[in-house]
Amino acid sequence: MRITPLFDRVLLRPMTEELRDSGIYVPQTGTEKSQLMKVEELGPDCGNVISLGDTVIVHKYAGIELYSNEERFIMVKLHDVMGVAK
């Protein structure tokens, strides 16, 4: 099943545990949600604020969890995206 966001919604993929070159540690445990996520799909009303493939920072409890083909995604509104990690 393919998930297509509507309006100003953004479909995000949680990133796996890793230490990035910038020194940011991204934990991935059962009790802690990742705040760094990759943009998978954008709704038509998102404008040019973020792009597909961007790594974004979202609030820990933002959005709803969705599953497609046993993969976990998070759907948030554009205003839940707090920044872009470069």
Q: Provide the residue type at 32 as one letter.
A: E
3 found inside a domain: no
2 found inside a domain: no
* Number of domains the chain is built from: 1
pLDDT tens digits along 10-34: 999 998 755 556 666 555 555 455 5
4 found inside a domain: no
pLDDT tens digits along 43-79: 999 989 999 999 999 988 899 999 988 899 999 999 9
39 found inside a domain: yes
Helix (H) or strand (E) holding 64: strand 64-68
29 found inside a domain: yes
CATH of the domain at 57: 2.30.33.40
Q: Which residues contact 52 (CB under 8 A, 6 or more apart)?
A: 39, 40, 41, 42
Asked if 75 and 5 touch (Cβ cutoff 8 Å), the reply is yes
Range(s) of the domain holding residue 63? 9-85
Q: What's the predicted TM-score (pTM) here?
A: 0.79
43 found inside a domain: yes
Q: What is the mean pLDDT of the chain?
A: 85
DSSP lists the bridge partners of residue 19 as 25
